[in-house]
Amino acid sequence: MSATPPVNALDAPVASSNVSDLVSQPYRYGFVTDIETEKIAKGLSEEVVRLISAKKKEPQFLLDFRLRAFRQWQRMAEPDWAALGYPPIDYQDIVYYAAPKQEQKKASLDEVDPKLLETFDKLGIPLSEQKRLSNVAVDAVFDSVSIATTYKEQLAEHGVIFCSFSEAVEEHPELIERYLGSVVPIADNYFAALNSAVFSDGSFVFIPKGVTCPMDLSTYFRINSGDTGQFERTLIVAEEGASVSYLEGCTAPMFDTNQLHAAVVELVALDDASIKYSTVQNWYAGDENGKGGIYNFVTKRGICKGARSHISWTQVETGSAITWKYPSCVLAGADSVGEFYSVALTNNCQQADTGTKMVHVGPRSRSTIVSKGISAGRSANSYRGLVQMGAKAIGARNYSQCDSMLIGDQAAANTYPYIRSQQPQATVEHEASTCRISEDQLFYLQSRGIAFEEAVSMMVSGFCRDVFNQLPLEFAAEADKLLALKLEGSVG
């Protein structure tokens, strides 16, 4: 199919006064938890890297990994190819390690500082036995450390390892040494190198051969400190025939300064394994004038190492002042499958440059990309995606669909598809469309008794349906609500 026609010139744009009312909805997770924090001094040096490693009592291989990464990072330059504009980041003005003060990791939740439990309660992620979500195991990460992981014992009965990254380093160093950096090498990019040098905590998931993880796993990331960067590291390994569904959620308080979040996520799927990774990202986006908000520079990549392995990324990006993120798949295994389903909503002064890379190596590997960008306010929303067909990817296929929706008349949407093929027998399809919510569409819905806000929300959620359908059920409803919330407000 060919690209669908662009915006119908006859469709009048929505009256922007209505839309600006509509999109100025306060952020609901902007509170700060008042808790005593152990922080190291601002700034980054080899000493800081060593200090972080020492604080975590890491084995030598990990310190070496960090130091290699730090030296690499020093030789690299911050990338400037994305369609993003922001003042230079002062990497010496960031705290690289902050942890709520408490003795070691607690054996039981009863010993965790109630303020922390309360924080996660407020965020809708209750951790205590009585209240915790019934079919999702949660790892709660607060600033640089993991606070608690639920259902660990139950999962262990199935041989599933789900714990904080630090714990995994202590208890399963051989797995960490084997897989850490195997998907995203330290020199991959500037932010990945930075993360590799200073990462503090994150989640580790290991699903052994033949096991289907009995429940969804989830990590909830919370940035609390105002001057701290969050550098978490997530590693998920699914052995032969294993499968898991993993969810990630994130929020941060409202500060009028910017916080840096540079995470690395690595997924490894062996023969016939399947990993489904879903994200609902709602970092603080800054105020309506673009003051404050999270800089979200994230490297996410999965390798479909084994034959018939399957990695699926689903992301709903609604927060952050700046999003720089390309969850990718390296399709090495024959008949492996990679998927990327994305909704990126930008509003006010938010900027997003996001997309994916599908690198086809194995024969008959298949990939699907469905990207939905929604731009409102004065925001800029770019899709950037690479589809690469390697010389051996005989019979490989890709299908990409990139749709943009504009709300109001001051938002921008861009699409940058890159297609490289070294294999004449590979198929690449790209389809793109741009639409605007027209006044006539809104009037039609309104004239049937549906209020303006609900009409916008219905159309936006209709636009995103293909992606929301990929989310785990409880997440889909949340995502729908989140988008409605982001676009809702008092209409004058």
Please choose, out of 109-117, 278-286, 306-314, 448-456, the segment that lies near another protein by the rule CB under 8 A: 448-456
CB of 138: closest distance to another protein in angstroms? Answer: 32
How many CB atoms sit inside 10 A of residue 60's CB? 8
Among positions 8-27, residues that touch another protein (CB under 8 A) are 12, 15
Q: Are 264 and 195 in contact (CB under 8 A)?
A: yes
- Looking at the Cβ atoms of 223 and 467, the one nearer to another protein is 467
- Looking at the Cβ atoms of 201 and 480, the one nearer to another protein is 480
Site size toward another protein, by CB under 8 A: 25
Among positions 459-478, residues that touch another protein (CB under 8 A) are 459, 461-465
Please choose, out of 213-221, 222-230, 449-457, 469-477, the segment that lies near another protein by the rule CB under 8 A: 449-457
How many CB atoms sit inside 10 A of residue 134's CB? 7
CB of 130: closest distance to another protein in angstroms? Answer: 32
Please choose, out of 99-107, 359-367, 394-402, 446-454, the segment that lies near another protein by the rule CB under 8 A: 446-454
453's tokens? 């806000």
CB of 435: closest distance to another protein in angstroms? Answer: 8
Please choose, out of 74-82, 114-122, 320-328, 437-445, the segment that lies near another protein by the rule CB under 8 A: 437-445
- Looking at the Cβ atoms of 140 and 467, the one nearer to another protein is 467
Q: Are 314 and 343 in contact (CB under 8 A)?
A: no
CB of 14: closest distance to another protein in angstroms? Answer: 9
- Looking at the Cβ atoms of 52 and 483, the one nearer to another protein is 483
Query: Is residue 454 a contact point for another protein (CB under 8 A)?
Result: yes
- Looking at the Cβ atoms of 145 and 435, the one nearer to another protein is 435
189's tokens? 């990019």
Rounded CA separation 467/482 (Å): 14
Please choose, out of 333-341, 374-382, 438-446, 477-485, the segment that lies near another protein by the rule CB under 8 A: 438-446
Q: Are 269 and 238 in contact (CB under 8 A)?
A: yes
How far are the Cα atoms of 56, 100, 135, 148, 222 from residue 141, in angstroms, in the given order? Answer: 15, 11, 19, 8, 6
Which of 26, 80, 448, 473 lies at the binding interface for another protein (CB under 8 A)? 448
Binding mask 92-121 for another protein (x = CB under 8 A): ------------------------------
Binding site for another protein (CB under 8 A): 12, 15, 435, 438-441, 443-452, 454, 458-459, 461-465
